[in-house]
Amino acid sequence: MALLPLPDPSPTAALVRSSVLISQGAEAKVYRTTLHTGGGPVLLKYRFSKQYRHATLDATLTRARVAGEARALVRCLRCGVSVPGLRFVDVANGALGIEWVDGKSVRSLLGSGDEGERYREEDEDIAPAEDEDLFVGYKVPKDALMVMVGTEIAKMHLADIIHGDLTTSNMMLRHPSSTMNPLGVHQLVLIDFGLAYTSTLAEDKAVDLYVLERAFASTHPESEPLFSSVLDAYKRKMGKEWPAIGRKLEDVRLRGRKRSMVG
């Protein structure tokens, strides 16, 4: 069959060129794209190569991370953790296509204070904001939202997945009227599993929670009652697994995550 003489040696490069950049982080650029006509939007996460490291090491790491993120997402899906599904994987070029989530980040729903953390997040949106009308009608009380956050993280931890970078920017509330949301209810979706790994250790789960606690404290003024709602919901969902994690969380808080080092 005389098929497909391809003009572009790298279709993924062509795909990236035709996509809209939405954010740029330390390791990846994130685009909104479409893979084909008759399909919905897809989030394309492109891990560009790092010139500072040895080319062989760079290629190995990129492959391992794309594969790792894909596996973590599928593992979450199978365990009922609400995460976006996969749509495209090009491991050779460091590209991952992920289901687009129509919604708003928990960070923006909570509204971050002006003062407080003076650091700005680099992963802020670059593209102009989506049609704001889409987001009208997120009539979810803060407390209910926090319960959703705690429950979803617990489901993830029960599946022995450690997110590695829990922040309020890495969780989204999917709009009930979104076409991609056939369940028709508010759905909290965890995103960005670039640093995720699997572990059964209470310590790792506690550190995951601690990272989120710090993120709440640095991003949202008067975050304490909010985070305690998260934790309450988490406890309920974790059941008998909670006490061990709770103890570790106390430890981690006391030492500020880190051990003391000898000079």
Partner 1 sequence: MPTRSPLKRPDRPYLALGLEGSANKLGAGVIRHEIDGSSTVLSNVRHTYITPPGEGFLPRDTAVHHRQWALKVIEDAVTTSGVGMHDLDCICYTKGPGMGAPLQSVALVARTLSLLFDKPLVGVNHCVGHIEMGREITGARNPVVLYVSGGNTQVIAYSRQCYRIFGETLDIAVGNCLDRFARVINLSNDPSPGYNIEQEAKKGKRLIPLPYATKGMDVSLSGILTATEALTHDKRYRPDDPPESGAEEDYFTSADLCFSLQETIFAMLVEITERAMAHIGSKEVLIVGGVGCNMRLQEMMAIMAEERGGTVFATDERFCIDNGIMIAQAGLLSYRMGFQTPITKSTCTQRFRTDEVHVAWRA
Partner 2 sequence: MESFAYPHFSSIAHVALFDRVTNAGEIRARIVRASSLEGDEGDAEREAVSFAFIDARLVTSVLHIQTAITQALLAAAQNTLRTKTVHSEVIWALNPSNNITEALRRYGVTDDSTALFVIRIESLASIDVRSRMSAVVEGTLVPMSALAGLTDWVAVKKYNKLGGDPYIKEIQNDPAHEHHLIDNIVVSFVAMKSVSG
* Cβ atoms of residues 219 and 117 within 8 Å: yes
Among the listed residues 58, 165, 232, 251, the single catalytic one is 165
Q: Which is nearer to partner 1, 51 or 179 (CB)?
A: 51
Do residues 174 and 190 touch, judged by C-beta distance below 8 A?
Answer: no
**Could you say whether residue 119 binds partner 1 (CB under 8 A)?**
yes
Place of tokens 């990846």: 28
Q: Which ranges of 111-176 does DSSP label H, i.e. alpha helix?
A: 142-158
Cβ 85 to partner 2, closest distance in Å? 4
In the complex with partner 2, which residue's Cβ is closer, 236 or 247? 236
Site for partner 2, residues 119 to 158, rule: CB under 8 A = none
Contact residue for partner 1 among 63, 112, 123, 176 (CB under 8 A): 123
- Give catalytic status of residue 165 as yes or no: yes
Whether the CB-CB separation of 36 and 87 falls below 8 Å is answered with no
All residues at 6 or more sequence positions from 245 whose CB lies less than 8 Å from its CB, including other chains:
157, 202, 205, 206, 209, 238
Q: How many CB atoms lie within 10 A of CB 98?
A: 23
Q: Which stretch binds partner 1 (CB under 8 A): 9-17, 46-54, 74-82, 99-107?
A: 46-54
Least CB distance to partner 1 at residue 21 (A): 16
DSSP-assigned letter for residue 161: E
- In the complex with partner 1, the residue whose CB is nearer, 12 or 24, is 24
List interacting residues with partner 1 (CB under 8 A): 25-27, 50-54, 56-57, 60-61, 118-123, 164-165, 195, 197, 211, 256, 258-263
